[in-house]
Chains A and B, each alone.
Chain A
Amino acid sequence: MTPKRRRLSIVLIGLTMLGAAAALVLTAFEENLVFFFSPTELQAKEIAPDRRIRVGGLVQENSVASFENGLRTEFTVTDLEHSVKVVYRGQLPDLFREGQGVVAEGKFEGGVFNASEVLAKHDENYMPREVADALKKSGRWQHATEKQ
């Protein structure tokens, strides 16, 4: 084996082992790498009552209600299989609307998720308003609520 081939195989073997190690570590820590849980995942999980978690999903259509002059908002986060009722005090991000993705951070209190922070999540689609309207008109609109 020439020195060149030897160096090449050392680098290749090293990279393979490194990749395998990284894959194992990432799989082991999967639980900590996800940013939020979906309502369905929460169903299958025992969450300690005072543990802070994030719940993510879509804001269910016709579920948003605001109280106390908009200081308190109640809405339902759904993944179309299960849903979680969320109560939030504070200002909502601009992108917050029904049918949009949202991530809420907080704790469960008596079956209701008490959020201390609500972040908007947007999807990967970018288009001008006219195109969005045209798609809706022609019935080819794939709304986020129907896609997942």
Chain B
Amino acid sequence: MNWFHWFANPARFMRLAARLQPWIMVLGLATGAAGLYYGLFDSPPDYQQGETVRIMYVHVPSAWMAMFVYTMMAVAAASFLIWKHPLADVAAQAAAPIGAGFTLMALVTGSLWGQPMWGTWWVWDARLTSVLILFFLYLGYIALVNAFDDPERGSKAGAILLLVGAVNIPIIKFSVDWWNTLHQPASVARMDGPAIDPSMLLPLMLMAAAFKLYFLYLLIVRMRGELTARRIRLLRLSDAA
């Protein structure tokens, strides 16, 4: 539990985050550039899908991030409710619009991929529907947190919504195994190893790393902004008193 308490100090977090921020940006830009190069120019077309397969290098990392960010927010919500971790609520609120963005990107790129390959922009199968629900959970959380005059109450209500909505994450992941869907089953995270050729797995993994670093960068920017805003609010209050 030591690191947990160590991070609970906002000033310490701000110092560390400020120091890490430029490194994360450089690393993210480098992996993103490499991923785009391999994805667009130096990887083979698929034997079935041809060049259309390149949508995967944006679609799959977005979808992974959509689930990853929500999971992170749900963990933050639990530590906010149980241990009153002061940074957890800041982190969840800062991550929400980013996660919603990734989810929207997964839905849009998936639709653009579905039209040429499946022959439809959208179907109501279990995978697509559960991801749409995830998008609405993000929007609902953002709306709920900001719906109270007392920010503390908003944080609490939002944290409970996050935990309730966490049920959806395993449903998204296993929807393609539990029910038959139009969406194909998992290609990378599956029991008998990836079903993707190494030449296509490389750009996918580079893009996944770039997306994660991009998220981390945005999260730090937004958390620093939120912490500063909270400090200003406190100063104003003590001035008024």
Q: Is the CB of B185 within 8 A of A118?
A: no
Q: Give the interface segment out of B147-155, B159-167, B224-232.
A: B159-167
B16 at the interface (CB under 8 A from A): no
Residues of B within 8 A of A94 (CB): 116-117, 119
Q: Could you say which of A15, A100, A119, A127 contacts B46, with CB atoms under 8 Å apart? A: A127
Whether A128 contacts B184 in the complex (CB less than 8 A), given A14-B163, A34-B179, comes out as no
B238 at the interface (CB under 8 A from A): no
A39 at the interface (CB under 8 A from B): no
Whether A124 contacts B179 in the complex (CB less than 8 A), given A95-B117, A130-B44, comes out as no
Q: Is the CB of A121 within 8 A of B179?
A: no
Q: Which of A36, A117, A125 has the most CB of B within 10 A?
A: A125
Q: Is the CB of B47 within 8 A of A128?
A: yes
The dominant DSSP class at the A interface is mixed
For the complex, count residues of A whose C-beta is within 8 A of B: 41
Q: Is the CB of B119 within 8 A of A126?
A: no
Q: Could you say which of B118, B123, B179, B199 contacts A95, with CB atoms under 8 Å apart? A: B118
Q: Could you say which of A26, A36, A126 contacts B53, with CB atoms under 8 Å apart? A: A126
Q: Is the CB of B47 within 8 A of A129?
A: yes
Q: Apart from A36-B182, A124-B184, what 14 extra A-B contacts exist at CB < 8 Å? A: A11-B81, A11-B163, A33-B178, A35-B179, A35-B181, A96-B119, A120-B118, A122-B49, A126-B200, A127-B46, A128-B47, A130-B44, A131-B47, A131-B197
Q: Is the CB of B163 within 8 A of A15?
A: yes
Q: Is the CB of A34 within 8 A of B47?
A: no
Restricting to A7-37, which residues have a CB under 8 Å from any CB of B?
7-8, 11, 14-15, 18-19, 22, 26, 30, 33-36
Q: List 13 A-B contacts (CB under 8 A).
A: A4-B83, A93-B118, A117-B120, A119-B119, A119-B123, A120-B119, A121-B184, A123-B184, A124-B186, A126-B53, A126-B195, A127-B196, A129-B47
Q: Is the CB of A124 within 8 A of B187?
A: yes
Residues of A within 8 A of B166 (CB): 15
Residue numbers of A with Cβ under 8 A of B are: 4, 7-8, 11, 14-15, 18-19, 22, 26, 30, 33-36, 38, 56, 92-96, 100, 103, 117-133
Q: Could you say which of B164, B171, B197 contacts A126, with CB atoms under 8 Å apart? A: B197
Residues of B within 8 A of A118 (CB): 119
Residue numbers of B with Cβ under 8 A of A are: 44-49, 53, 56, 78, 81-83, 116-120, 123, 125-126, 163-164, 166-167, 171, 178-182, 184-187, 190, 195-197, 199-200
Min Cβ gap A145→B in Å is 14
Can you name the residue of chain A whose Cβ is closest to the Cβ of B56? A126
Min Cβ gap A15→B in Å is 6
Min Cβ gap A135→B in Å is 10
Min Cβ gap B141→A in Å is 16
Min Cβ gap A13→B in Å is 12
* Distance, CA A100 to CA B197, complexed state (A): 19
Can you name the residue of chain B whose Cβ is closest to the Cβ of A126? B196
* Distance, CA A8 to CA B56, complexed state (A): 40
